[in-house]
Structure 1
């Protein structure tokens, strides 16, 4: 086992898993609480394309550099993680952006109860897209966690007793 390759792999895995988990469950909720709605939205709009690209590409890089055999367990966990990132990047992110733009447009055209009626439909659609995005983000984290467990087990088996 090449020490440099294994070390680089572990550091990269730690960065990806730690970064995704920290941003998803610590930084983003704090930002939501302390920033104004427009500021939070602007922040997420800048971060999410890169965030989802990282979620999609990192498992592929991990698979290509794995210091353990990629049997069904580790490989399937990386596939789940990557597909989750791809789903967020290419389906849910554009859908969410589209709904947000529609909401901005109707806010310019309507007021009062007419605005409320039209916006209610879009809020519901935004809730669906956002909820699915959260689910796929969680599946990415779970896939990466499962890979980490497989990675740890595989590396522990290589340690001389």
Structure 2
């Protein structure tokens, strides 16, 4: 009996075993097994990872592309601003908590050649560095930056613009010309809002990327 091990790719191993009988030298049996570490042998059994992921992705897509857009179109500017100021802390808070929940509920991953531990230890395992740790950490960082810095800073500028509107007797979104102070506040608001929206898109992309890993675990 002869056993030969081939390694043609970093995460793929082929094992070839040939056996023959002396009474029938031309009869051979060949078995080829392919082990791919990125396609685990165990499937997801707990509902928590899928429920948490669905909540995270669904709320992000709805707030970014549906709810916020509709509110901007149908509400007057003051009411829209009030709604967003009340919504964003809850929204970014959810985005901060759910990636942690996804990491904590990561199940054990068993392959034909190894066992990857669950929870945080599994996220830190080298094989999950780019498929699990990177997207979850990216989404968490985006949410925390929005929650603790960009969100409050944007709200502060909105309040300053409101006071400046009273001084100028003109809304910040009215056709110009505006006072130098209002122009400064408008530029600052645009920069903060653009940064918040931009990194939010990065967070959504990270969530979608993580979904491919989660989907592979369900096959």
TM-score by length of 1: 0.88
Distance in 2 separating the partners of 1:108 and 1:35 = 21
Distance in 1 separating the partners of 2:44 and 2:191 = 46
Structure 2 partner of 1:75 = 133
Structure 2 partner of 1:155 = 218
1:44 paired residue among 84, 96, 114: 84
**1:105 maps onto 2:163 in alignment:** yes
Alignment of 1:120-135 (within 5 A): 120-135=183-198
**Aligned-pair distance for 1:101?**
1.3
Q: Is the 8 A contact 1:106 1:115 kept in 2?
A: no
Aligned residue pair count: 154
User: How far does the alpha carbon of each residue in 1:19-55 deviate from its partner, in whole angstroms, 9 at most, with x for none?
Assistant: 1111211111011001110111111011100100111
- Residue segments in structure 2 that go unaligned for 5+ positions in a row: 1-42, 110-121, 171-175
**Aligned-pair distance for 1:2?**
6.6
Distance in 1 separating the partners of 2:80 and 2:169 = 24
Distance in 1 separating the partners of 2:72 and 2:144 = 24
Residues 138 and 146 (structure 1 numbering): CA distance in 2 closer, same or farther, change over 3 Å?
same
SS of the residue 1:139 aligns to: helix
Distance in 1 separating the partners of 2:69 and 2:191 = 19
CA RMSD of superposed structures (Å): 1.9
TM-score by length of 2: 0.65
Rg: which structure is higher? 2
Q: Is the 8 A contact 2:44 2:217 kept in 1?
A: no
Structure (1/2) with the larger strand percentage = 2
**Aligned-pair distance for 1:93?**
0.7
Residues 106 and 60 (structure 1 numbering): CA distance in 2 closer, same or farther, change over 3 Å?
same
1:9 paired residue among 40, 49, 56: 49
Distance in 2 separating the partners of 1:38 and 1:12 = 33
**Aligned-pair distance for 1:8?**
2.4
Q: Is the 8 A contact 2:164 2:182 kept in 1?
A: yes
Q: Is the 8 A contact 1:55 1:140 kept in 2?
A: no
Structure (1/2) with the larger helix percentage = 1
- Residue segments in structure 1 that go unaligned for 5+ positions in a row: 157-161
Q: Is the 8 A contact 1:31 1:40 kept in 2?
A: yes
Which has the higher relative contact order, 1 or 2, with Cα contacts under 8 A spaced 6 or more apart?
Answer: 1
